[in-house]
Amino acid sequence: MGALGAHWLRQPFHLRLGLIAMATSAQLRRDRAILLGGLACVSATGWFVLAHMSAVSAGLHPVAMSGMLMTDPTNAPNPGYGMALAMWAAMTVAMMAPATAPGLSAYLVLAHRRHPDRSAMLAAAGFLAGYFGAWLGYAALAAAAQSALATAMRLTPIGALASPYLAAGVLIAAGVYQLTPLKRVCVTRCRSPLLQLMGMWRDGGSGALRLGVGHGSWCVVCCWALMALMFVVGVMNLFWMAVIAIFILAERLAPARWRIDCIAGVLLIGVGAWVALAVAG
């Protein structure tokens, strides 16, 4: 734990409450509103780009995207790695921008304590850059997987796994991961990031960037399996993309006692088993 985190834990409880009370300051409220509004705009831009890419893909391949051919991998277009990377980058921005709100709010409280002037906003921008940088790394890996699967003709025209057994395996694997201790640790860190950020605190622009990468990396470990479900429902399926994004946000905002991550894990395992049994039968 860093010096700032250790100093925090040594303080009496009533003094710790004083830091939380800083969240009521007018300057902090304004900065939070600006940054959260910016996040909403970034997310909306990501959704707009995804909708445009989906429409363009359907327009370029109208035959493959119609009727029974939607499930035929031999008719699936291969967008190439560059296009797949652009799509996954837009997807991670659209889906994960709202989910970073708790982490950004916690960082802003600490940044205002260390930098009462306007430099706190610049530090927060560096934090966000690091966060999305971590997700860009995930997007690069997911795009490579999509490109390889498309080349091997393992994807349908809508970007879903052509093999129901593979789809069932992804569902079950994602469900099992939801029940692991690692997932629980990651959800806790993403839901309540204040102490984590204090323990890792570094001043300056590079420190903000490192904190953003660190927080983003924990979020990647938390959500990689949920994002991989896009290979089951179709990587350009905007409806299920929105459903998964809402659930990821709910994991961070819902009380821990609700255990919605575990409930989702059990449901995913059940659906995966049902798919496998239905195909086998």
For 250, the enclosing helix (H) or strand (E) is: helix 238-253
- Look at residue 60 in the predicted model and tell me its pLDDT: 54
Average pLDDT of 12-40? Answer: 69
- What six digits make up the tokens of 208? 């903000």
- pLDDT exceeds 50 at position 13: no
- pLDDT exceeds 90 at position 280: no
Give the whole-angstrom CA distance, residue 212 versus residue 136.
13
- pLDDT exceeds 90 at position 48: yes
- What six digits make up the tokens of 49? 């780009």
Average pLDDT of 53-69? Answer: 60
Give the whole-angstrom CA distance, residue 25 versus residue 122.
18
Which domain does 105 fall in, by range? Answer: 3-280
Q: Which residue has the tokens 């939607």?
A: 70
**pLDDT band per the 50, 70, 90 thresholds, residue 185:** very high
Total count of domains within the chain: 1
Average pLDDT of 87-97? Answer: 95
**pLDDT band per the 50, 70, 90 thresholds, residue 17:** very low
- For helices 260-280 and 181-191, the axis angle rounded to 10 degrees is 140
Q: What is the SS3 string spanning 65-131?
A: CCHHHHHCHHHCCCCHHHHHHHHHHHHHHHHHCHHHHHHHHHHHHHHHHHCCCCHHHHHHHHHHHHH
**pLDDT band per the 50, 70, 90 thresholds, residue 14:** very low
